[in-house]
Amino acid sequence: MLIDYRVRQREYLLEISRALTAQLNLDELLQMVLEAATEMLAGQAGLIALRNPDGSFIIRASYGLPQSLAPYFEPLLADIPNDTNRSRFHIPGIADKLGRIVAGLGLRLQQVVALPMAIKKELIGVLYVFRAYGTRFTINDRQVLASFADQAAIAVHNAQLYERISYEKRRLNAILEYSADGVLILDSAHRVVLFNRALAQLSGWPAAKSLGRHHDEVIRWAHVETDFDFSKAVAGGWPLSPARPLYVEGDLRRRHGGSVSVGITYAPLFDHEGHLVNIIADVRDITRFREADEIKSTFISVVSHELKTPVALIKGYADTLLREDASWDPETTRESLMVIMEEADRLNQLIDDLLDASRLQAGGLSLEAEPVALNALAERVVSRFHTQTQSHEIDTRFPDDFPFISGDPERLEQVLNNLVANAIKYSTEGGRIEISGRVLPNEIVITVSDEGMGIPLKEQPHVFERFFRGAQERNQHTPGAGLGLYLAQAIVKAHGGRIWVESNPGEGSAFSFAIPIAPIPIAPIPIAPIPIAHNKPTNK
Ligand code: ADP
């Protein structure tokens, strides 16, 4: 009878051990182990505690107990010995402790057996089985459970490894998926196996549509800057030679038209035998670098041209005046000196603009705010420009009691100066120029309009960009560095306002800016400077 029982136990053990090795889900595996162990020992309940990386133990599975009661058994874990030898694995006073725990819970568990789950002498957990009746666990019970615990330990260890690898894989996928750079992974046949979100956005290819396609179908270049692209490099022996990551830069064709500047670094991944497994490509949007590069070269060409012209004029007139073989009548001398002065003023203006532009980049312009009457400021600007042009009629149009705003009068005058100077400069045939003001509920709007050449539609969105000059202006060599409107916009923004242009090519342009009417007490004569609340930069 006893033999028969043992044979059944062993057969069961074998069967369950086979099932265990196939299970990789840790929670389900622990449940199987507990169920089998409890059944084999004719127990009523069981627990498995697993060891944390820091050496402490945690109850990971329970059987035959309401799950909510499992935490009450935690005091049992405090006494786990750090000894993986089964015969010495003994927890003193465990039965008493169990007695106290179950008494408080109204459970009828009386006997307990605990066995180590170990792999190569390393304790990975403890298996507990409880009986509700008084029959003690025998040596044979312990033996059966011990060999089962060893099998279970291996299965648990495998499932733990699998769990860790699955977690690492999910973590890696999340990193790749949410990386700010585009990431592309190819298999050895150069077919796409991973295509992340950033790359989908850059290329216009949805990830699902790109998977399985050949690299060259999704990475198509409008223009390549480097000597090689991917296919050329592969044809030349890459990745074996040269055996280093490949960098390709250029304009990537987007799926539905247009292009984007990118730099792609391809890195090969080989297996132990040196066979290519994957190619991992990092795709970086380099539009900003390109723009910065373009701005730098525009800056150099604009500045050298704009500096050279006045310097050449000043030098030419000064040379002429200094010639010893000629004497000049006072009128000619005066005219020459006037040109020298005007050109020196132009140089001065350009240097001021460049300094302002670099200050802006470094952190902003500072404003000295006080109540400003823009209508009075406009009158002053107009009267100054009257003397500079005969072919233009310049007027102002403001409603009565135009409100004061809080602002920096010098900077606002600079804005008006720029707009009026442009209106004159870009209406070569003359015409009417008007500075007008409107009052809206929360802001005032100033408009400078002209009847000049207007601005081509495609240039209109760019006129406020740094160093931007219209194609015609560049071709006709109108003087200018493309900084006036950029600075005007910065000043208006520093006042919490906005600036825009409306223009019909060939008919004229109207530049407007709005400044909020700040809720501050306005006095015609400022008592103390009133700080501007919006976007107040720190240095001047
Ligand atoms: P700049 O006058 O030195 O070129 P701005 O920043 O003042 O620089 O202006 C940028 C460009 O905007 C000009 O080159 C010109 O193409 C266009 N623009 C500005 N104001 C006018 C205007 N009133 N009429 C036509 N085009 C204008």
* Confidence bin at 447 (pLDDT 50/70/90): very high
Question: Residue 523 has what pLDDT?
Answer: 40
| Lookup: tokens for 85 | 């030898």
Hunting for tokens 């057969």 — which residue is that? 11
Instruction: Please give the C-alpha separations between residue 34 and each of 44, 46, 48, 186, 342, in angstroms, as whole numbers.
Output: 11, 6, 7, 44, 96
Q: Which atom of ligand 1 is nearest to the CA of 508?
A: 24
pLDDT over 70 at 530, yes or no: no
Three-class secondary structure assignment of 241-279: CCCCCEEEEEEEECCCCCEEEEEEEEEEEECCCCCEEEE
Highest mean pLDDT among 16-20, 91-95, 248-252, 292-296: 248-252
pLDDT value of position 90: 81
Q: Which atom of ligand 1 is nearest to the CA of 452?
A: 24
Which of 112, 246, 237 has its CA nearest to residue 184? 246
| Beta-carbon count within 10 A of 516 CB | 19
Q: Which atom of ligand 1 is nearest the CA belonging to 479?
A: 3
pLDDT higher than threshold 90 for residue 366: no
The answer, yes or no, to whether any atom of ligand 1 lies below 6 A from the CB of 415, is no
Q: What is the 3-state secondary structure (H, E, C) of 278-314?
A: EEEEEEEECHHHHHHHHHHHHHHHHHHHHHHHHHHHH
pLDDT beyond 90 at 40: no
Query: Does the beta carbon of 508 sit less than 6 angstroms from any atom of ligand 1?
Result: no
Separation of CA 468 and ligand 1 centre (Å): 8
Residue 233 pLDDT: 95
| Least trusted range by pLDDT, from 298-307, 447-456, 525-534 | 525-534
* Distance, CA of 414 to CA of 395 (rounded, Å): 18
Q: Which of 410, 381, 358, 399 is nearest to 529 (CA)?
A: 410
463 touches ligand 1 (CB under 6 Å)? yes
Check if 123 has its Cβ closer than 6 Å to any atom of ligand 1: no
Is pLDDT above 60 for 540? no
Beta bridge partners of 128: 47, 114
221: how many CB neighbours lie within 10 A of its CB? 18
User: DSSP H helical segments within 23-56, as ranges?
Assistant: 26-40
Q: Say whether pLDDT at 529 is over 70.
A: no
Contact 481 CB / ligand 1 (< 6 Å) = yes
Phi and psi at residue 188, to the nearest 5°: -70, -20
Using only the alpha carbons of the chain, give its radius of gyration. Answer: 41
Assess whether the C-beta atom of 452 lies below 6 angstroms from ligand 1: yes
Q: How confident is the model at residue 258 (pLDDT cuts 50, 70, 90)?
A: very high
Torsion 352-356-357-359 (CA) sign: positive
Spatial distance between the Cα atoms of 363 and 360, rounded to a whole number of angstroms: 5
Task: Assess whether the C-beta atom of 468 lies below 6 angstroms from ligand 1.
Answer: yes
Mean pLDDT confidence for 252-258: 95
Highest mean pLDDT: which range of 6-15, 111-120, 254-263: 254-263
Ligand 1 mean position to 457 CA, how many Å? 13
First-to-last alpha carbon distance for the chain, in angstroms, is 100
- How far, CA to CA in Å, does 495 sit from each of 389, 411, 512, 518? 31, 10, 14, 10
The per-residue pLDDT for range 190-217, each reduced to its tens digit, is 999 999 999 999 999 999 999 999 999 9
Residue pLDDT, tens place only, 104-159: 898 889 999 999 999 888 899 999 999 998 888 888 888 888 888 888 899 899 99
- pLDDT above 90 (res 20): no
pLDDT for res 467: 85
Strands (DSSP E) along 414-465, which ranges?
431-439, 443-449
Least confident of 312-321, 363-372, 518-527: 518-527
**Buried (b) or exposed (e) across 139-169, using 16+ Cβ within 10 A?**
eebbebbbebbbbbbbbbbbbbeeeeeeeee
Ligand 1 atom, smallest distance to 481 CA: 3
Instruction: Check residue 489 and give its pLDDT.
Output: 93
Confidence of residue 476 (pLDDT cuts 50, 70, 90): low
Question: What is the spatial distance between Cα 450 and Cα 507, in angstroms, rounded to a whole number?
Answer: 8
Highest mean pLDDT among 214-223, 299-308, 313-322, 357-366: 214-223
For residue 261, report the distance from its CA to the centre of ligand 1, in Å: 28
Query: How is residue 90 written in tokens?
Result: 């003994």
pLDDT of residue 297: 80
Query: pLDDT band at 84, cuts 50/70/90?
Result: confident
- pLDDT of 392 reads 94
User: pTM above 0.75?
Assistant: no
Could you report the per-residue pLDDT of 321-362, keeping only the tens digit for each?
Answer: 998 888 889 999 999 999 999 899 989 988 888 888 877 777
pLDDT band at 456 (very low <50, low <70, confident <90, very high): very high
| 414 pocket-lining for ligand 1 (C-beta < 6 Å) | no
